[in-house]
Chains A and B, each alone.
Chain A
Amino acid sequence: MIHALRSEWIKLRTIRMNWILVLIGVAFPVIVCVLTAALEKDRDFDAQDLIDLVQTCSLVTSLLLGVVGAATITGEFGFGTIRPTFAAMPRRYVVVVAKAIVTVVVAMAVEAAVVLGTYAVAGAISRSRDRRIVLDDAPNGSAAMLGIVLLAAIIALLGYGLGLLLRNTPAAVSVLLLWPLLVEPLVGALLHAVGVEHPFKWLPYNAGIGIANPEADPDTAEHLARLAGGLYFFGVAAAIALLGAVLTDRRDA
């Protein structure tokens, strides 16, 4: 497994597009944070502001990491490199698991960089105004920031699973992006129209983003608790990835 992990790590970091996506994913929240914190004149930029801002902006990062996760495997099928990969490592599950680990770890590392980067930038701007930002000043502040990192891991895993399943970059990326932007709002609205109360509670993406929401605890009629929502979304992403892995093992490479 260690050889497979090294191999997949080399693959991931030797594609320029991955670096570009990661750079955008890190730069976007940090730049927005700098601008917001610097331009906030009327009142102090506090921990709650920081959490709200990172919670929103980091979804872009998470989705970009999901695209990286999808392309990790669809690129292999698209360019045919999956064949020398499986020829070198005929136990396909080893490759599939190694890719998943590398994708998830990279996603967590990048999102952690976003959280730490925005925290550092906002803190520096606050210090210049003789203020301090303490995450725990906001309710569930630290937990929400950790949740943002975990959410990135889940979305990256979802992207990877969709890539395994669909084997096609445009298809996997489209499903990944349309799922939160179109599919769940549409399904939720339809369910609500037919009389289902609080339909978003059980829609995976809507349930999952609660893990990064400091106000998501405790469990209510409208939404799952933070950890439960995250685990539910993770379960769906893992199930898709598992199905993709089983099909990858059975299909022709």
Chain B
Amino acid sequence: MVISIDALTKRFGRKVAVDHLSFQVQPGAVTGFLGPNGSGKSTTMRCMLGLDRADGGRTLFDGRPYASLSRPIHEIGALLDAGYVHPGRSGRNHLRWLAASSGLPRKRVDEVLDVVGLTPAASKRVRTYSLGMKQRLGLAGVLLGDPHTVILDEPANGLDPEGIRWIRDVLVHLASQGKTVLVSSHLLSEMALMASSLVVIGQGRLLEQCTVDEFVARWGDRWVRVRSPQIGVLREALEAGGAPVAQVDPFTIDVRGVTTPDVGELAARHQLVLHELSTQTGSLEDAFLAATASAQEYHSTPVASSPTAPPAPAAPPAPAAPASGPSGTFAPPTPTPPGAGG
């Protein structure tokens, strides 16, 4: 099933939460839906399902609007918030009303409870569940109708590492069966592992739609790592050529603005031994921060005094670990992707 979002617009008073957003989600792949806090991801998903009434545009599922589906649970499984459960109801009863709404038998409820590993807690009230258990309950609801399209908003929230790996495996498995999977997550490392394509939005507008590799190549940092027992000579030669160099350890340097063939040929000319020559790329997180730097609605202040302070979200990527070395520091260049600004 192809999901087509066309010029979707949603306003809350004067605030434009989703602004003429258009993108497509293809089957057979996990599509990551990324954006900073308040960028409109959840609103977009609610509008897609007709829960929030869009002020403009439309969403079509294989050419049909959601409202035209008579029993959507068989076609589209959606989990927008694991907290959408009555705390006084048991997990099994929560799934039972959901199943009954589409004519699914009771035994299907027990099957999906088994799949998500909640059978032992199925009779307990949801108020006794941890967030991770609620996520599993929500996923059981998604799987009830064995849908061919899955839409999940932050499904890994509250899950333990085993749960995170499980959800990743489930989504990758569903995509490998040719199903359409759209998933938003703040866990970019997880997204890097499971998503093959990305939709990135900021302030309700589309910033990028591409594969993960294209996104990282476009927005992430790139540099060459060289390791050699004669690194000092090579470093001088590179610096003489104007390349910014950072010392990683006594035998390793990171170089920007050059390619591996450049460095290899330079080393050959100086008859230097190389133990490593590789191209390094930044993480999806770095690329995401760079891509959304101008679209961040909420900025945090870096805690400068802390030795373990995380980088500010809007900071340019800094993939090379050392900020200082025997030969001083360098500031990583800000990536200048083609068509920047999306």
* A binding-site residues for B, Cβ under 8 Å: 3-4, 6-8, 10-11, 14-17, 75, 79-81, 83-91, 250-253
Contacts and interface: CB of A to CB of B under 8 A. Distances in A.
A90 B69 contact: yes
Contact of A88 (B72, B81, B96): B72
Given A79-B87, A84-B141, A4 B101 contact: yes
A3 B101 CA distance: 5
A126 B90 CA distance: 45
10 contacts: A7-B97, A11-B89, A11-B97, A14-B93, A84-B141, A86-B49, A86-B50, A250-B53, A253-B46, A253-B51
Interface in B34-80: 46, 49-53, 66-67, 69, 72-73, 78, 80
* Consensus secondary structure, chain A interface: helix
B85 interface: yes
Interface of B: 46, 49-53, 66-67, 69, 72-73, 78, 80-81, 83-90, 93, 96-98, 100-103, 141
Contact of A253 (B52, B73, B97): B52
A188 B69 CA distance: 50
B54 to A, nearest CB: 10
B102 A87 contact: no
A79 B72 contact: no
A88 B101 CA distance: 7
Contacts of A80: 81, 83-85
Nearest to B78: A87
Best-buried of A3, A16, A91, A250 by chain B (most CB within 10 Å)? A3
A119 to B, nearest CB: 34
B84 A3 contact: no
A75 B86 contact: yes
B97 A252 contact: no
Nearest to B93: A14
A251 B12 CA distance: 12
A87 B78 CA distance: 8
B70 to A, nearest CB: 8
Contacts of A79: 84-87
B239 to A, nearest CB: 59
Q: What 4 pairs across the A-B complex have the smallest Cβ distances?
A: A80-B84, A7-B101, A14-B93, A10-B97
B254 to A, nearest CB: 48
